Structure 1
């Protein structure tokens, strides 16, 4: 029997992963209503995406971090997970909501403003979250 890990299966809908660990979602990022941010994401996206909070994505210098993973159709169309950092403004959260509601990675172009938030995590961190 093989001990190799089975490849991860893409979700039928987008997954929005919200960091709420070491720095994200804490007083270390002042002036942000962290509870409201995740409440908005869950309320606005609950019907079209899975929204989940995780302990730490190990990209603390980018707090607050949100990763938008494509749906199965989005991945089939070439979409890949998009890492967004410094998401500390309600307008940025709203832009993420609009993009995911339109289809997310692979199916809809993100609002141009989200280019300012996109970053690439280390390969180790990316494998742990996306794998």
Structure 2
């Protein structure tokens, strides 16, 4: 007899979407930033704390590079949270704050560190339109 087993889905964790398009991650634009090290640190934090890290091509607001989008976890979405766009993410303090916030649950679950809150940027128009759907 073949029985289907329905299991509870694993909780959806917070996800950091790291832009690595034309300007973000570009050593010519930000020569003082070790972009590979930043990505390694974010991935190490994800491995340690259970959130996800993805990279993507250009997210749009190139004048505010490096851009990282913090997507809420399932719990955060149920609490009404939406993705938070962080700009000018080029130093170790910002990287540490991103890891700490994602580890604590991210948008809708934990308050962002004060410095990250100051680095919030407005998503491009296309992203705002998609979020309303």
Q: Same fold (TM over 0.5)?
A: yes
The RMSD of aligned alpha carbons is 1.9
Q: CA deviation at 1:101?
A: 0.5
**In 2, distance between residues paired with 1:21 and 1:120?**
18
Task: Find runs of 4+ consecutive structure 1 residues off by over 2 angstroms.
Answer: 125-131
Q: Which residue of 1 aligns with 2:4?
A: none
1:1-131 paired onto structure 2 within 5 Å: 12-27=12-27, 28-46=29-47, 47-127=49-129
What is the TM-score with the length of structure 1 in the denominator?
Answer: 0.85
Deviations along 1:26-76, whole A, 9 cap, x unmatched?
A: 121220000000100001113511101101101101100000000111110
What is the TM-score with the length of structure 2 in the denominator?
Answer: 0.84
Q: Structure 2 regions of 5+ residues with no counterpart?
A: 1-10
Alignment coverage as a number of residue pairs: 121
